[in-house]
Amino acid sequence: MRDFRDAKLMAKTLRQALADRDISLSHSETLEIVARQFGFDQWNILSAKLDEAEGMKSAIGIEPPVPIFRIFSVEKAMEFYCGFLGFAWDWKHRFGENFPLYCQVSREKMQLHLSEHSGDASPGARAFVRVKNVRAYQAELAARNYRYMKPGVEEAPWGLEMTVTDPFSNRITFCQQN
């Protein structure tokens, strides 16, 4: 559900929708319409509320962590993370030719770093990831028919969980919390 923090995007969307119907309004006119939809007399008042909400955020700006998992085979890692789990391979880095790989894979809002560097992480690490629908993800994985893993969904006191283990003994527990 949208709230007042989405006002600028809503104004842009409104302007585009009207333009698609050959109705031309300026950006400022659509901002004023959106402000009235939120119960404010004018855009400047809503804009002040946006600034206030922005100021309430922590100056530190802590964001979700990015786990680092140790891998020993790029091919096996990509087969598991991209082929089986459905992650995208975002980027890779090597300090030179024939050096260990450090890369990022992601899916939706989850980012994970994979490293062949011996000092970055220990095999057997674990990450706990909240998901909205663990049964849908489990069904998606089952449909891929990955020969090395057939994860199931288990009940826990705090919700439903599905744990997968990569070829290097790193585990990810996907949890749909109650």
Distance CA 39, CA 29 (A): 16
pLDDT in tens, the chain (178 residues): 456 567 777 888 888 888 888 888 888 888 888 888 888 888 888 888 777 766 666 678 788 899 999 999 999 999 999 999 999 999 999 999 999 999 999 999 999 999 999 888 998 999 999 999 999 999 999 999 999 999 999 999 999 999 999 999 999 999 999 8
- State if pTM tops 0.75: no
Distance CA 103, CA 69 (A): 10
Residues 147 and 82 in one domain: yes
Distance CA 142, CA 150 (A): 6
Residues 127 and 42 in one domain: no
Residues 133 and 164 in one domain: yes
Query: Count of domains in the chain?
Result: 2
* Residue 60 forms part of a structural domain: no
Residues 170 and 113 in one domain: yes
Distance CA 77, CA 171 (A): 13
What is the domain-level CATH number for residue 73?
Answer: 3.10.180.10
* Residue 63 forms part of a structural domain: no
Residues 104 and 167 in one domain: yes
Q: What phi and psi values does residue 36 have, to the nearest 5 degrees? A: -65, -35
Residues 50 and 79 in one domain: no
Q: Residue 115: which domain range?
A: 68-177
SS3 6: helix
* Residue 156 forms part of a structural domain: yes
Instruction: Take residue 98 and report the two structure tokens written for it.
Output: 């024939």
SS3 115: strand
Distance CA 78, CA 73 (A): 9
